[in-house]
Structure 1
Amino acid sequence: MSLFTRVKTALVQLKSQYSAFSTLRAVRAFHARSKRYDPTIKEPDWVLVLVVTLSFIALGMLFVDEAAGHWKATLSKETYDLFQSVTRWGKSENYLVPSGLAVLITALLPWQRLSLGAKAALCQIQLAGLFIFIAVAGAGLSNNILKILFGRGRPRYFEEFGAHYFNSPGFASSFQSFPSGHSTTAGAMAIALTLLFPRLKWLWIAAGLWIAFSRVVVGAHYPSDIVAGFVYGAVFTWLLAKYSTKRRLLFRAQEGLIRLPKTGGFSFAKLMKALHMLVQKA
């Protein structure tokens, strides 16, 4: 074998070894990232949140709400129908029913047949369902009280009363525009899903804002209503998560961040594994 052939063979082997090493390193890095639990929400500056929210609400009432009342009449039927399908996702029952069923079903399973790891997985799923249920129900019910206290007329009365008509207490649904209930649910779910699935946080927030915006398009609320509702639902859910960290339920607090625990991340794969074990032992 010539010297050139030997050198060529050695280079080919070296390249193959380097490729294998690079692949192994990439796989290890991927697993390291998968095991890491990312920060989700940092402790906000509550004064800043309050100032920004009130500013947007005030600016909306002064300069945007009235324009929105006129703008809605110019929309096509196709646009209205499109956003009517979007706004349905703001109904609280869309999240209360599945989360409530998750809590109920996991509570009725024969836990004594499961291993310790499977029990931990089911407990995590159960706590996640309970967290979503309380967040959506709690934010929605308390928001309904605010609606009655403010008694703001809905956009359907824009031509008759204008955009700034308040008739407190507003026991009729027609005078419960502020804050928006659908937007409250959207804000609550956006933060809940951000906490549970932090790597998709921008998707959850964007979807929540889109649902909230749909309430303006379908003529159910003014822009200032959806700002107040979305922020209220988001803050309520964050405070609920903060409370759960003090009880060490589902979340943990570290360096001003709310996180899922390292060893107990929320995962549908863990649920399926636990259910598979139940079927095998049945």
Structure 2
Amino acid sequence: MGNIRKIAILLETRNRRVRRKKCPVKPGQRPQDILAMLLLTVGIAIVALDIPTSPWIHSLPHEYISFFSSFTDLGKADWMLWGTGIYCLLMLALDWEQMSRRVRMAAVASWIYCAFVFTAVASSGLIALVLKWTLGRARPKYVELFGPVDFQLFAFKLSHTSFPSGHSTTIAAFATALALIFPAWSLLIIVCGFWIACSRIMVGAHYPSDVIAGTLIGIVVTFAIARWMARRHIGFILAGGGHIRPIFGSTSAGAYLRRLVRSGFRRGEPAHTTSRSSADDATQDESGS
């Protein structure tokens, strides 16, 4: 409970700082602007993509569907939430005060970023879940029965839970969060997330507009959380032009995390030894990069 109390005090302190200084949201980033863009994009996708792609998807060879089926479930939120959630709980159970300064910094940073990923995936997934059960769009496999644009509000039927795609929402949130934490790997992360999201179309589980809507929800929610954290200097900062950057660079984060693993969470390690070792790690990273 001690770590939880410290985190609560930290959040309260940072919130007071944010309230003192105004940081207006730029045009195009306001909630109403984002909602308008979402509606416009999804509307175009329904008209331009959903109707023509439906027969094409059903005509694909079975080998294509089997290939995309092999990794489409990576978009499920279960493994993301269980992994990050358990790690956060384990880190909270540790006595951070007994760690050396460098190891404590690594532990706190890893907890912050894992909590960020958990929150982004959980909150965006919850929004998608509410929308899909509320809007009640028929799944693509029922296209011959209901057509591609059949929406039945509050239908509460499994056959009408197509919009938006839950898998696409959570994998978009997960990929966006990782891309913000590891900007050097962002392109690879985004490409992997893109194909996992697209696999929902290829296996016939969703229309393109379902995937587009879910992806946009995941991205927007994750960026909103990251911006909230950046304004409070929790894990991220707002750089020039409003860009969100992680506080820990790849070099320092790598050195700290290696130190955390090497220490095995040992207690009472002298601070000067940790600092020297971490500095050596950082020097090695710089020379190797």
228, 244, 256: which one pairs with 1:243? 228
Unpaired runs of 5+ residues, structure 2, are: 1-25, 269-289
248, 253, 278: which one pairs with 1:267? 253
8 A contact 2:235–2:248 mirrored in 1: no
TM-score, with length taken from structure 1: 0.78
Describe how 1:167-246 pairs up with structure 2 within 5 A.
167-246=152-231
Q: Which residue of the partner structure matches residue 140 of structure 1?
A: 125
Q: Taking structure 1 as reference, are residues 163 and 76 closer, same or farther at Cα in structure 2, changes over 3 Å only?
A: same
Q: Which residue of the partner structure matches residue 28 of structure 2?
A: 45
Percent identity, aligned pairs only, is 35
SS of the equivalent of 1:193 reads helix
Report deviation, 1:120.
0.8
8 A contact 2:105–2:256 mirrored in 1: no
Q: Which residue of the partner structure matches residue 101 of structure 2?
A: 116
SS of the equivalent of 2:153 reads coil
Q: Deviations over 1:5-49 (max 9, x none)?
A: xxxxxxxxxxxxxxxxxxxxxxxxxxxxxxxxxxxxxx7833775
Amino acid of the residue matched to residue 275 of structure 1? V
Unpaired runs of 5+ residues, structure 1, are: 1-42
8 A contact 1:184–1:232 mirrored in 2: yes
TM-score, with length taken from structure 2: 0.76
Q: Deviations over 1:35-91 (max 9, x none)?
A: xxxxxxxx7833775555433322221132122221122112211111011211100
Distance across 2 between alignment mates of 1:193 and 1:238? 11
Distance across 2 between alignment mates of 1:247 and 1:82? 44
RMSD: 2.4
Segment drifting more, 226-235 vs 96-105? 96-105
Q: Deviations over 1:185-237 (max 9, x none)?
A: 12101210111000111112111111111111111100011111000100000
Q: Which residue of the partner structure matches residue 252 of structure 1?
A: 237
Q: Taking structure 1 as reference, are residues 176 and 166 closer, same or farther at Cα in structure 2, changes over 3 Å only?
A: same
SS of the equivalent of 1:267 reads helix
Q: Which residue of the partner structure matches residue 71 of structure 1?
A: 56
Q: Which residue of the partner structure matches residue 86 of structure 2?
A: 101
8 A contact 2:182–2:250 mirrored in 1: no
8 A contact 1:121–1:264 mirrored in 2: no
Report deviation, 1:97.
1.3
Aligned length: 241
